Amino acid sequence: MKFAHSCVNSLYLYASFAFAFAILLLTVERCHTTYVKDGTQPSNPVLLIPGDGGSRIYGKLNRTSTDHWFCYKTTSDWFTMWLNYEPFFFPPVFTCFMDNAHLVYNNKTGEYSNVPGVTTKMDPIGSLDGCSYLDDLDLITYFGKIVSHLKTNRGYTNDNLKAYSYDWRYTPVNIHKEGDEGEFGVMKQLVEDMWQNNSQQRVVIVTHSLGGVLAQAFFEYIDQAWKDKYVQNWVSIGTPLFGAASSVESFSSGYNLGKFIVPNFKLRKGLRSWPSTAWLIPAAKYWDSNPIIMTPTQNFTASWDDMDAFFDAINWPYGKTMFHQVRSVLTFEPPKVNITCVYGSEVKTPSQFYYKYGLPDDGSDPTILYGDGDGTVNIKSGMGCLMWQDIPGNSVTGIELKGVEHVGLLSDQGSRDAIDKVLGY
């Protein structure tokens, strides 16, 4: 970000220290008693798969123009595009992230790519760095407490504890035609390598949020013999298996997770352009018939016809294109692996959105009607994997964490206990 005066720089420095100190206070974990099996070493390797926004994206800029004067056009080196602190001190800067992170669609190829002049990359395959903590100072934790627990209390190392960081703006919609060279092929090879390098012990896969949707698509793609050989258990934490109502709001007016720092509308440009947003539109087969979007003249349910009409109403044809591409990625076939389904409940969660003056082009926010869930994932979706409990070939254990919000599931003791149980502790 560009600053014109030294006094602004001083305020920025002061705010940086204040924010860092506040985060430190929030992330200090109380001391607790730990236990380790005497004379034993970790058996099953563990693979972590993060969700939407759950891993860092690094960027390099060589742009000819930007949406705002205070956004950089060029950078000499890679920088942490997501997540950095600047928007917390000067909220308009978040629009710089969205301007850099939004995707463009190629009508001829049907593919999405970065905006011209923006290059992105993720952390190396297997690295824990980009999803343990989301910032460069390791203050904003994501999988951090789970990683710390497994390393400190269970003896895990970087050899048997790894992560799969992926660009969460996209979906695996084109992976099937790419075969083992696509994203699923990379995941498959990582699991096989972990199995081979850890005495051929099967891998426990721990996912959060969108990472669980990705895992379900992966399990549908992979044959049963491979799953039987390489996968010990899937610990699904906060997976929006059937989608989330807030994803529809993301297209109409944007969605800021209920945080006041940045207005919803400022985030709409990026959210509308990401196929992953369309992937989380509620699955009509498993959603109820209540409207998700309501206006004085028209309502829209999760049905395919209504979603098509919704995209027409907001004049966003690319949204309809994305929706058509991704809506059939999941068949919701039983994954036929051992599943521990961890979900949050009894947290006020957006379920319906009423636009008093019609669908907005001016940044107006809807009146939100709330239901049960974890604050982001509606309860019917978070509990989705329980539908496989009575199907032969599936072992499904449900764990409800009452009053725990979506990202907080990763720091809650209940999630660590669920992982421990799968690992035999």
Residue with tokens 């990472």: 211
Q: Are 133 and 142 in contact (CB under 8 A)?
A: yes
CA angle 308, 323, 121 (to 5 degrees): 150
- In the residue annotation, 374 being an active-site residue is answered as yes
Sequence-distant (6+) residues with CB within 8 A of 310 are 248, 251, 252, 293, 300
- In angstroms and rounded to an integer, the radius of gyration of the C-alpha atoms of the chain is 21
Q: Which amino acid is at 280?
A: L
**Catalytic-labelled residue, pool 52, 149, 406, 412:** 406
Among 247, 374, 381, 415, which one carries the catalytic annotation?
A: 374
| DSSP H helices in 258-386 | 264-273, 275-279, 304-313, 317-326, 379-382
Is 99 among the catalytic positions? no
Distance CA 44, CA 423 (A): 7
Phi, psi of 301 (to 5 degrees): -95, -170
DSSP output for 205-239: EEEETHHHHHHHHHHHHS-HHHHHHHEEEEEEES-
Tokens for 111?
């593919």
Q: Give the pTM.
A: 0.88
Distance of CA 332 to the CA centre of its chain: 19
Residue-level pLDDT, tens digit, the chain, 425 residues: 333 333 333 323 333 333 333 333 333 333 333 334 444 567 899 999 999 999 999 999 999 999 888 889 999 999 999 988 776 667 677 788 889 999 999 888 888 899 999 999 999 999 999 999 998 888 889 999 999 999 999 999 999 999 999 999 998 864 444 445 578 889 999 999 999 999 999 999 999 999 999 999 999 999 999 999 999 999 999 999 999 999 999 999 887 655 555 667 777 888 899 999 999 999 999 999 999 999 999 999 999 999 999 999 999 988 899 999 888 888 999 999 999 999 999 999 999 999 998 987 666 789 999 999 999 999 999 999 999 998 887 899 999 999 999 999 999 999 999 999 999 99
State how far the alpha carbon of 54 is from the alpha carbons of 22, 71, 122, 134, in Å. 21, 24, 12, 7
Among 47, 345, 48, residue whose Cα is nearest residue 192:
47
Q: In order of start, what are the domains of the chain with their CATH numbers?
A: 38-52+124-423 (3.40.50.1820), 57-121 (no CATH)
Q: Are 142 and 134 in contact (CB under 8 A)?
A: yes
Q: Is 395 a catalytic residue?
A: no
Annotated catalytic residue within 209, 250, 253, 381:
209
DSSP 126: B
What single DSSP character describes residue 202? P
pLDDT tens by residue, 220-278 = 999 999 999 999 999 999 999 999 999 999 999 887 655 555 667 777 888 899 999 99
d(CA 255, CA 273): 13
